[in-house]
Amino acid sequence: ENILGAVPDAQVMVRDPMNDGAHFEATVISEAFVGMSLAQQHRRVLQSLKDLFAGDVHALALRTYTPEKWASTQG
């Protein structure tokens, strides 16, 4: 829900592959990323999660996509 606060139109998929509540993988797909560099996309998402990193979250593998780019990876 923190990601949706920063990127309201996003489709967000989060996994906890180690099932430890500390290491996560997130995929965020949003039209808002159009025209942004990858660094800008990641910064926008990570800024919304900064409080989580002060607590129990230790790692996040983040992937961001525009809807067009996401569609091209699904073929």
- Does the pLDDT of residue 65 top 90, yes or no? yes
Would you say 59 and 23 are in contact if contact means Cβ atoms under 8 Å apart? yes
Contacts of residue 52, Cβ cutoff 8 Å, sequence gap at least 6:
2
Global confidence as pTM: 0.87
- Give the model's confidence band at 19: pLDDT under 50 very low, under 70 low, under 90 confident, else very high: very high
